[in-house]
Chains A and B, each alone.
Chain A
Amino acid sequence: MKTKILLVGGRNKAKALAVSLIGKGYHVTAVNDTYEDCLKLAEINKLDVINGDGTKPFVLEDADAGSADIVIALTPKDDENLVICELCKKRFHVKKTVAILTNPKNTPFFYKMGIDSVVCAITAITSIIEQQAFMDKILNLLPPSEGRISVAEIPIPASAPAACKKLWEINLPEHAIIGCILRGDTILVPRGDTRILAGDMLVLISSSQQEPAAVKELTGR
């Protein structure tokens, strides 16, 4: 049995997500309240499209929300996303509900209301822009746990203070470790006596607050 995913609202986001999820073999249904958007969505192969307001229980019923495994609320309005997810949870007993959010301050409230996963587009985008603008050459791979932990790839040039030092000689902050060293084609899981060489690529795992301090310790910047 295919995993069923219900996408509610959203125009471009719904389109892109639908294409990607169908490609991965999921059964996807999209609900949208604008007829023109529905026509666009209907061009996607194998996608079921329902025209209607997803905050209304009968529309969700038409979309067979009761049999969905995951519901993703993508409308641009936070209150609508909240209602969609709550209806799906309470009325249709959907296992997992995901909401996107425009106001980052509402994130804890959404979790408190029982929504399983909250994605704040603005926080995600601003953090990417910040990285691009201020930390060049350093690539944040992923921000797990809502951005409290960060995983970053850090290149070590010859001029870096950490170059040619053993790991235990480097005074890293408390909540930071080097998880992996990429040296040419080899991958090293470092120990205290592993020496960092110029040209290495370090994978740094740290708390978001201490990341800049750790980066400074390693690269001097």
Chain B
Amino acid sequence: MHLLIAKKPDDKYTIVIGCGRLGANLANTLSDEGGNVLIIDRDKDAFRKLSPSFGGLTLTGDATDIDILQEAQISKADTLVAVTNSDNTNIMAAQIARELFQIKRVIARLYDPERECVYREFGIATICPAILSANEIDKILSEAGISDNDPEEEGQ
């Protein structure tokens, strides 16, 4: 608690698109850290996933609709994070943010790493769960490999 209060209030404005497990978690964290957060989802029931202490704003609508993004005051945003369950929606929202509104930091989640070539040229950072999980599993496996003699004790 002490740490939270001591921290300077962060007046960065972040827009999160998609209130799934990742989006809701991220919005909660950013809001707890004192940042300004707005979260957009097509389905208003999705906002149930936000914690009761969530201090940001919610907006119901399609994030590939420029009007909705303008309602979210996208031009004032420092960061936009696109984490809906559809790769295509994430690509489109991220590109609108980057190309039409010149948002400095745009991050998008991409289930299919093969589509990344579309993003790279636009300076959009991508997070690919499959690759991250593969790396992590690989790391665990190689750790297990070292302590092969005594797997029980090492127990993950």
Contacts and interface: CB of A to CB of B under 8 A. Distances in A.
Is chain B's interface secondary structure helix, strand, loop, or mixed overall? helix
B66 A106 contact: yes
Interface string A77-100: 111101100110011000000000
A109 interface: yes
Chain B: interface size category = 20 to 34
Contacts, number: 57
Contacts of A87: 115, 117-118
A92 to B, nearest CB: 10
A55 B66 contact: no
A109 B96 contact: yes
Given A77-B88, A82-B91, A113-B95, A105 B65 contact: yes
B99 interface: yes
B88 A80 contact: yes
B88 A79 contact: yes
A90 B88 contact: no
Chain A contact residues: helix, strand, loop or mixed: helix
A105 B66 contact: yes
Interface residues of A, number: 20
A190 interface: no
Nearest to A82: B92
A83 B64 CA distance: 13
B118 A83 contact: yes
Interface of A: 55-58, 77-80, 82-83, 86-87, 90-91, 103, 105-106, 109, 112-113
Interface of B: 64-67, 86-89, 91-93, 95-96, 99-100, 112, 114-115, 117-118, 121
